[in-house]
Amino acid sequence: MWIASMAKGDSTMTIEKQCHHCGEMKTVHCTEEQFWAWQNGALIQNAMPGTSKEERELLVSGTCGECWKEIFRYDEDEED
C-alpha cells in the first residue's frame, strides 16, 4: 500500500511507501502522468525514467534499497 499526494495545480506526485522488511517509510517523486503510465501497464523503468532503481523496486516489490541489498547480498567479484 502506498500514500500518494499532489500539490494543487502541480502534476508532481509524492508517493510514500513503507518497506515490508524494515518498516521504514520511503518517499518517491514522479509525475501523475508517469504514475498512471505505470499503473496502466508500462514497464516502471520506462514510465518513471527519473527515479532510481531502488525507488522503482520499492514501488514494485515493497522492498527498500537497503533491505534489498541485505536480502540479496552477493560478492560482486564472484560470478557463476
pLDDT for position 11: 81
Angstrom distance (rounded) from CA 60 to CA 70: 18
Residue ranges of the chain with pLDDT lower than 70? Answer: 1-10, 74-80
* Cell numbers that stand for 72 in this block: 540479496
Q: Where are the domains of the chain?
A: 2-71
The pTM score is 0.79
What's the pLDDT at 4?
67
* Alpha-carbon gap, residue 63 to 80, rounded angstroms: 25
